[in-house]
Amino acid sequence: MAPRTIAPFGPQHPVLPEPIQLKITYEDEKVVDVLPAIGYGHRGIEKACELNEYPKNIYLCERICGICSCIHGITYCEVVERLWPVEIPPRAKFLRTIWSEMSRTHSHLLWLGLLADAFGFESMFMQFWRIREKVLDLLEMTAGQRVTQSISVIGGVRRDLNGEQKKKCIEVLKEVRKESEALIGVLANDYTVKARTVGKGVLSKDQAIALGCAGPTLRASGVCEDCRMQKYQAYGDLEFEPIVETAGDSYARAVVRARETLQAIDLQLEALGKLPAGDINVSVKGNPPANEAIFRSEQPRGEVFYYAKGNGTRNLERLRVRTPTYANIPSLLVMLPGCELADVPIIALSIDPCISCTER
Amino acid sequence: MGIIHTSRIKSPWIIHFDNSSCNGCDIEALACLTPLYDVERFGIVNMGNPKHADVLVITGPVNYRTARVLKNLYAQIPDPKMVIAVGTCACSGGVFHNCYNILGGVDKVVPVDVYVPGCAARPEAIIDGVVLALQKLAQAQGVAK
């Protein structure tokens, strides 16, 4: 029997820009055991939210994660609006949906690029990130910032879309859709991509349910579960059908995200077409009453859960956030043992880990 | 002035370390390497190994757990080295300055040469920061850029 070796994967690793450590025990290139060590990204945002006033927390919550920042800010506003409760105007609901889907598009394109980088397909990484820059330009034009948009306020949104911006959005989104479709065709059919991803890190349907996975990781294992099925914001008025694959391997997870990229663009185009006229926010004054509220929304990585408790003062009594990667990390413990050491980066990346979300 | 001194300034290799950042600056630092900004045309290459790197790019505030990792990483980079703190959090702690697990800016743990503010720091600002760091390195070595 070959001797066992323990190799650290992280906290500084070229594949994963974020600090997480996986202690990998291997025997002859075969992984035997994996032990994740987390805590490198912990800042204490939940506690910090109790010290700030309600409107200031939007900016803090957006900085839980810089990739899905837009949806974090929107979800925080939604949960705080439920403390009163406040009903926001229909135009604000549509605008929140449009920005959510725009950030999903950029997040998925970013991940597809990182996956290509993980198996050494450098030119595909560059191409995906080139397309992504167009989406970032749209975010900058409509919301004013590339990464942390802060477009949501309690009671609606901060900015409106004018006719010219709407026209430009539709034009660029169609272009992005066409270009990503071509590139996704390469990703889905290329021989080398398939050789590196098909059958790697298989997660069965029962395992995915038992481990409580979320988002594309869950949907790639054949479970039809998506928070957008609750029809919150404008999703009730849009044609939405969750994307499900059944193989449960790294390839299926890549295909789910690739198809979701195109679906997110379609949802944006549909929402832009149906955008109702009216106000973009309602004025909310005073402090919310002593009350509790929850809200779940679908992030690029899966379901994010917010719980808020107010006590009638200007500060929150408690804010609890459960993020999708927290639910997905246990699946690595099932997927990694038995795989080749060289496949570890791809499998670890296939759950789209977001450590700053997980540890806050 | 030998070939090593010249090439260190003409083609610096960078290593990126994420302390406990929100990812915002990380993806902007990565975006610098991709076609729109493309810093590779200046010979800047992102390295995974600290022993190959000249410039350490740090994002995010230092917390109690990453401080040890950061010190270790800094010690592994051969001299002469440059440290760039990217983003408001890396400069001073930013929005997280009063969080219980945060020590503060990167300069609490390792010496910083260039501070790039912004939340998130734009790719243009990061490139500007790298150029400033290289000028500093050239001055320190007595090499005209």
- The domains located in chain B, with CATH, are 3-141 (3.40.50.12280)
**Contact residues, chain A, for B100 at CB < 8 Å:** 44, 47
**Mean pLDDT over residues B138-143, rounded?**
72
**Mean pLDDT over residues B78-96, rounded?**
87
Please list the residues that pair with B55 across neighbouring strands.
B14, B82
**Contact residues, chain B, for A64 at CB < 8 Å:** 22
Q: What is the pLDDT of residue B145?
A: 46
Place of tokens 């810089």: A66
pLDDT in tens, A217-235: 888 888 888 888 888 888 8
Place of tokens 């070959």: A2
**Contact residues, chain B, for A13 at CB < 8 Å:** 48
- The domains located in chain A, with CATH, are 49-328 (1.10.645.10)
Q: What is the pLDDT of residue B1?
A: 61
Q: What is the pLDDT of residue A265?
A: 92
Q: Do B120 and A66 touch (CB under 8 A)?
A: yes
Please list the residues that pair with B61 across neighbouring strands.
none
Q: Do A63 and B17 touch (CB under 8 A)?
A: no
Q: What is the pLDDT of residue B103?
A: 86
Which residues, including other chains, have CB under 8 Å from residue B130's CB and lie 6 or more apart?
B12, B14, B39, B44, B55, B57, B84, B114
**Mean pLDDT over residues A15-42, rounded?**
81
Is the pLDDT assigned to residue A16 strictly greater than 80? no
Query: Average model confidence (pLDDT) for chain A?
Result: 86
- A-interface mutation test, from B14, B15, B17, B18, most A Cβ less than 10 A away: B18
**Contact residues, chain A, for B90 at CB < 8 Å:** none
Q: Do A130 and B66 touch (CB under 8 A)?
A: no
Q: Do B36 and A130 touch (CB under 8 A)?
A: yes
Q: What is the pLDDT of residue A172?
A: 92
Which residue of chain B has the CA closest to A130? B35
Listed range (A35-39, A249-253, B14-18, B75-79) with the worst mean pLDDT: A35-39
pLDDT in tens, A289-311: 888 899 989 888 888 999 988 88
Half-sphere exposure of residue A123: CA atoms within 13 angstroms, side-chain side: 4
What are the phi and psi torsion angles at A207 (to 5°)? -65, -45
Looking at mean pLDDT, say which of A175-179, A308-312, A334-338 comes out highest.
Answer: A175-179
Q: Do A43 and B50 touch (CB under 8 A)?
A: no
Q: Which residue has the higher pLDDT, A275 or A2?
A: A275
Helix H, strand E, coil C: the string for A254-290 is: HHHHHHHHHHHHHHHHHHHHHCCCCCCECCCCCCCCC
pLDDT band at A176 (very low <50, low <70, confident <90, very high): very high
pLDDT band at A23 (very low <50, low <70, confident <90, very high): confident
Is the pLDDT assigned to residue B143 strictly greater than 60? no
Q: What is the pLDDT of residue A316?
A: 86
Q: What is the pLDDT of residue B64?
A: 87
Residue B6 is given by DSSP the state H
Q: What is the pLDDT of residue A203?
A: 87
Q: Do A110 and B48 touch (CB under 8 A)?
A: no
**Mean pLDDT over residues B63-88, rounded?**
88
Q: pLDDT over 70 for what percent of chain A?
A: 99
In this structure, the number of other CB atoms found within 10 A of the CB of residue A3 comes to 6
Which residue of chain A has the CA closest to B28? A147
**Contact residues, chain A, for B69 at CB < 8 Å:** 11-12, 19, 40
Q: For residues A26 and A328, is the Cβ–Cβ distance under 8 A?
A: no
Q: For residues A272 and A98, is the Cβ–Cβ distance under 8 A?
A: yes
Nearest to B61 by CA among B38, B35, B94: B94
pLDDT in tens, A145-158: 888 888 888 888 88
Q: What angle do CA A144, A85, A264 make, to 5 degrees?
A: 40
